[in-house]
Structure 1
Amino acid sequence: GRIAAADRLRAEPAGIDVRVRSVQVHDEPVDAAVAGQRVALSLPGIDRDELRRGDALIEPGSYAPSYRLDVELRELAPIPERALVHHGTSATLARVVRNGRFAQLRLAAPAIAARGDRVVLRAGTTLGGGTVIDASPPRHANADRFERAERGEQVVHGPVRAADGDWVFSDEWLDELRDRLLAAIDNADPLDPGIPAPADPWAAVVIPRLGLERRGSKLYRPGTAPTLGERERDAEALEAQLGAEPVKVPDPSLARVLEDQGRLVRVGDGYAVSPAAYEDARRTLLAELEQHGRITLARYRDLLASSRKTAQMLLERFDADGLTRRIGDERVARRSALGSTRGR
C-alpha cells in the first residue's frame, strides 16, 4: 500500500473518516510512504483517545470489520476454547471453534484482516499461530468450507460476479452485512448517526436491499434525521465566535458535524475558521501563486495581516486539501489548483 499527504482514509474498526495532513518516515517529512516503512502520520481533528492500538487506516470501503476469522492453525501447545488473538498490533479475546487443523476465531471486538494475514494465539504463553484463509466468513465450523477456503476456491457467500455480470450473494451474507451496518450505525456519533455507505463495486446492487436509508454518501436507520438536537445552541455559540482567526473547538465530534454541514472549516489541531474566512484566505493564496508562482509563510502572513500561527494553520490545511505543496520553506500550487480558480 501507499499513503500520502492529503489522502482521505477511514480508521477501522473505529469507523472514523480521517485526512492525512503530513507523513514522516524515520522522523523525516516525505510526500508519501509505502508498505514496510516506519511511518508517522498527522491526522488533524482526531483526538488520541478516538483511536486505539490495532486500528487500521484503509481506503474507504476496501475492507469491512469482521467479528470472525477462519484460520489454518499451527499448534505449539493445546489451544483452549478461549484465547487471546494477536493480529498486527491488536490483541483481542476470542472463542476458538476448532475443526481439525482449522478454526474459526469468534472475536470479542471487530478486526480488519485480509486473506494471508498471520495471527498468534496466546493464553499466558504462546499456544500457536495461524494464517487467515477467510477474513469475513459466515458463522460455521464446517470442514469442507474450511478446506475450500484454504484452496482459494470461491464459496458463494457473498458477493461474487457471475458470468452474466450480475452480482451473486447469499441471503445469509446480506443479513450479516445488514447486522454489521446497523451495529455500526448504533455506535456512530450521535451528532450524526450515519455511517459511510460501502463503496465496493457491488454497492449499487446491495444497498437498496438492506432496508436502510441513504442520504448522500451515508447510511442511516430509516427516519433518523441527523440533527444536533440539544447541541444546536453550542453550535450557534461557536459559529458566533468564528472569523478569520482560528478559534479553539473543544469538541472534535461537533466540529466534524459542523464542517460536514458547511458551517465551519477545521484548521490546525482542534481549531476552526468560518467558511467565508477560509474562502478569502484561499483566494488570497491562489492570487499570489498565480502572480509569483510560490509563497513563503512570512509573505502569506503579511498578505493576511494575521499571525504566523494563523498563516501556518491555513497553509497546512491547503496542503491537505491538495491546493498547495510544500518545497522547503515555500509553497507552490499543485497542478490543477490555479486553473480551478479561473472563472470563479
Structure 2
Amino acid sequence: MIQGKLVGDRLRAEPAGLDVRVRSVQVHDEPIDVADAGQRVAVALPGIERHHLHRGDALVSPGAFALSYRLDVVVDELAPIPERALVHHGTAAALARVVRVGRFAQLRLAAPLLAARGDRIVLRAGTTVGGGEVLDPAPPRHADAGRFERAERGERLVFAPVQDGGEWVFSDEWLDELRAVIERRLDAADPLDPGVSPPREPWADAVILRLGLERRGAKLYRPGAAGTLGPREREAAELEAQLGLEPIRVDDGQLARFLEEQGRLVRVGDGYAVAPFAYERAREALVSELEAAGRITLARFRDLLGISRKPAQLLLERFDADGVTRRVGDERVLRRSTVRSGE
C-alpha cells in the first residue's frame, strides 16, 4: 500500500484468493483510519483465520492485479545465475525456472506471485546471485528479445500502432523508437549473417516498409547488406587449406554454410565438409562407374576413391540429396536426369 483508506473496504487477499472486509487498522496498537507507506500496519479481517493467510500474501483492490506464474524481468547479475533459482518478491518467495535472453529473463514460477511493473526481486541459489526489476508482471510464455526490449522502454499505448479501416497507423515517435531498437540489434548481428528476426506483431509488414529494411527469408537486413568474414578470413583460409577428398569436421555450422554459399567448400552431412574440387572429382568417378556398371555399392565406391567407409558414405548421401544418385536397397543407381559434369 502506498497510501489510502482501508477501514470498511472490501479487498482481496492474494494469492490466497480470499475476499475480505477490513474492520480496523492499527499502528503500534493504536486504531487509525489512514496508513502511509513505511508504517508497520495491523489489519483486522473478520471471519479470516490466521491459517488462511501466508507470508507474502497481499491485500489488493479486487481486479487491480493479476496473479501470474511468469514474470519478465531485467536482470542485475552478481554471480552466474543457474537455470533454477528462488525468487524473493517482498516477503513472498517462489522457486522458478530462469529463462535467460541476454540481460533479460522470464521467471517461470512454481507458485504464483502478485507483482507490478517496477517491483524489485532478488534471486538466490544458496547465496544471492542477482536481482532485477519487473518489466511485465503477467507475460505470455516466450523468449522474445524484442518483447523484452519493448517492455523495458515502457512502450506507451498512445504510441502503439492502431488499425484504421484496414491500414495500420503509427506515430513518428513510436517508429523512431522501433527503428533505434532494430538498428542496435543489426549492429550486434553476426557478420556472417548480418540479419535479425523481424517483429511478429500483426503490424510488422506495414512497419517494415517504413523502416527501409529488406526482408530476406525469415530475417531483416539493411539494404544491400551481405555476410562478410571480417576478422575470420584467416580462420576460413586455414580451414580451406585442410580440405580435400577426405571429409573433415567443421564445428562452426554458420561458417560452413557461409563458405559453401561462396563456393569454397561442400558440406557432406554430419558436420563434415570436403573441397569443391574433391566433390566434383568424386562425382565424376561415381557417374562414370554407374554409366558402365549400372549400380554401385558403398564398398565399391570406397575402393574407387581410396577412402575409408564413413567419408564414402557421407559423399554418397550428399550425392543422393543433390539428385545425382538414388538409393535402391544397399546400392545406388544413377538418376535419369543426371548428366556428367562438363557435358
TM range (shorter): 0.3 to 0.5
The alignment's TM-score, normalised by the length of structure 1, stands at: 0.44
- Report which of the two structures shows the higher radius of gyration computed on alpha carbons: 2
The alignment's TM-score, normalised by the length of structure 2, stands at: 0.44
